[in-house]
């Protein structure tokens, strides 16, 4: 049989009213035959298909033959076959018995433009409602646990803290240090022109502490941790682990979502403080190297420029960011249906939506603070 490495090609030739088929009519050999059959000019009247030289006929080959017979018969030819080996005859019979007819492949119905727009809008509306319902459910669970702190799964929280906080120290530290360097350099060049190099401490300190450190920490956490939440919960949904939890009487909200939310609300402010320090350090190193502002001078100036109020305002925003990231990440995880592809799509959505939401909310904070004169 075809276990050997050399396979024989499949061929066909129209000889007057006789179609001569030969070789191995198997799935891997059929593609050229399909093209040949399309282009054949059939003579009117009876057609004989001679199959004596067909060495091997598999299901795909038998189907091609069967649909050829069907097609010819439909065009009014009388078709006869000959020379088929008993094994191949058997195969053909097997295929014929499934009752599949050429051109009768079921197709999924595609919605028209209007229907598509309608369905899309409805889906968006339901999505918004779903998110609201999720936030509501989450708040209820959150309040319940606030009343009974002993029920909080602290081990889980500690684990998530390690994953979201401790393990992010490296990347948050590096990026905020570099950000500090860049700000000091770009700002320093301008300040130097006005002989105001010393104010680089104000520039780096205030921009880091009020805006950049909270932002960079939130964006890194959204990309690192929010995505992981979606992927984890989404995969658990695909493998029915979420249903298993429910069936055991364990609320997924309390086991999976609350510890993540709590951990992130604790971790993000701490990461922000760390980013503040690393960013200012980066600015200080750059100011020393580029502008000749010594470390003691920089630190003295920083003491004047940086108020407790600014620092707290910066850090104060971050629990809100954390709540947004954790909520969106978990929500998108629960929206996964069916396939691994859906996990990927939802993970992308969760990261994009979190980052957009964080920046929008940050802008809202800025407007509010300026209105309040802070």
Q: Give the binding site for other proteins (CB under 8 A).
A: 1-3, 26-28, 30-31, 34, 56-60, 63-64, 67, 87-88, 90-91, 94-95, 97-100, 102-108, 238, 337-342
Least distance (Å) from other proteins to the CB of residue 215?
35
Least distance (Å) from other proteins to the CB of residue 19?
18
Judged by beta carbon, residue 98 or residue 139, the one nearer other proteins is 98
Judged by beta carbon, residue 63 or residue 365, the one nearer other proteins is 63
Least distance (Å) from other proteins to the CB of residue 119?
18
Least distance (Å) from other proteins to the CB of residue 97?
8
Judged by beta carbon, residue 234 or residue 314, the one nearer other proteins is 234
| SS3 labels along the chain | CCCCCCCCCEEEEEECCEEEEEEEECHHHCHHHHHHHHHCCCCCCCEEEEEEEEEEECHHHHHHHHHHHHHHHHCCCCEEEECCCHHHHHHHHHHHHCCCCCCCCCCCCCCCHHHHHHHHHHHHHHHHHHHHHHHHHHHHHHHHHHHCHHHCCHHHHHHHHHHHCHHHHHHHHHHHHHHHHHHHHHHHHHHHHCCCHHHHHHHHHHHHHHHHHHHHHHHHHHHHHHHHHHHHHHHHHHCCHHHHHHHCCCCHHHHHHHHHHHHHHHHHHHHHHHHHHHHHHHHHHHHHHHHCCCHHHHHHHHHHHCCHHHHHHHHHHHHHHHHHHHHHHHHHHHCCCCCHHHHHHHHHHHHHHHHHHHHHHHHHHHHHHHHHCC
Least distance (Å) from other proteins to the CB of residue 107?
8
Judged by beta carbon, residue 115 or residue 137, the one nearer other proteins is 115
Judged by beta carbon, residue 237 or residue 260, the one nearer other proteins is 237
Least distance (Å) from other proteins to the CB of residue 114?
23
Judged by beta carbon, residue 204 or residue 336, the one nearer other proteins is 336
């Amino acid at each position: 049989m075809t276990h050997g490495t050399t396979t024989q090609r499949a061929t066909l030739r129209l000889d007057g009213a006789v179609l001569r088929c030969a070789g191995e009519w198997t799935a891997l050999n059929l593609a050229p035959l399909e093209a040949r059959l399309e282009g054949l000019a059939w003579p009117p009247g009876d057609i004989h298909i001679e199959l004596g030289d067909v060495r091997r006929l598999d299901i795909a080959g038998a189907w091609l033959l069967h649909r050829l017979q069907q097609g010819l018969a439909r065009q009014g030819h009388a078709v006869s076959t000959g020379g088929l080996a008993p094994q191949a005859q058997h195969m053909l019979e097997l295929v014929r018995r499934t009752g599949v007819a050429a051109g009768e492949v079921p197709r999924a119905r595609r919605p028209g433009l209007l229907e598509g727009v309608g369905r899309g809008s409805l889906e968006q509306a339901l999505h918004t409602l779903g998110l609201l319902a999720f936030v509501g459910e989450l708040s209820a669970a959150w309040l319940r646990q606030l009343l009974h702190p002993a029920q909080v799964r602290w081990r889980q929280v500690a684990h998530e803290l390690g994953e979201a906080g401790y393990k992010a120290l490296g990347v948050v530290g590096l990026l905020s240090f570099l950000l500090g360097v860049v700000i000091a350099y770009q700002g320093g060049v301008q300040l130097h022109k006005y002989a105001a190099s010393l104010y680089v401490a104000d520039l780096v300190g205030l921009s880091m502490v009020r805006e950049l450190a909270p932002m960079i920490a939130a964006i890194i956490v959204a990309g690192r941790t929010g995505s992981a939440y979606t992927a984890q919960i989404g995969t658990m949904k695909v493998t029915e682990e979420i249903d298993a939890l429910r069936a055991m009487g364990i609320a997924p909200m309390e086991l999976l979502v609350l510890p993540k939310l709590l951990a992130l609300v604790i971790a993000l402010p701490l990461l922000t403080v760390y980013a503040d320090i690393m960013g200012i350090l980066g600015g200080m190193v750059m100011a020393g190297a580029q502008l000749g502002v010594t470390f003691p001078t920089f630190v003295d100036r920083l003491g004047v420029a940086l108020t407790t109020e600014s620092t707290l305002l910066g850090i104060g925003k971050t629990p809100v960011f954390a709540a947004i990231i954790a909520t969106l990440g978990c929500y998108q995880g629960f929206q996964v249906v069916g396939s691994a592809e859906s996990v990927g799509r939802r993970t992308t959505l969760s990261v994009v939506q979190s980052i957009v939401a964080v920046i929008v909310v940050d802008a809202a904070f800025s407007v509010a603070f300026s209105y309040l004169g802070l």
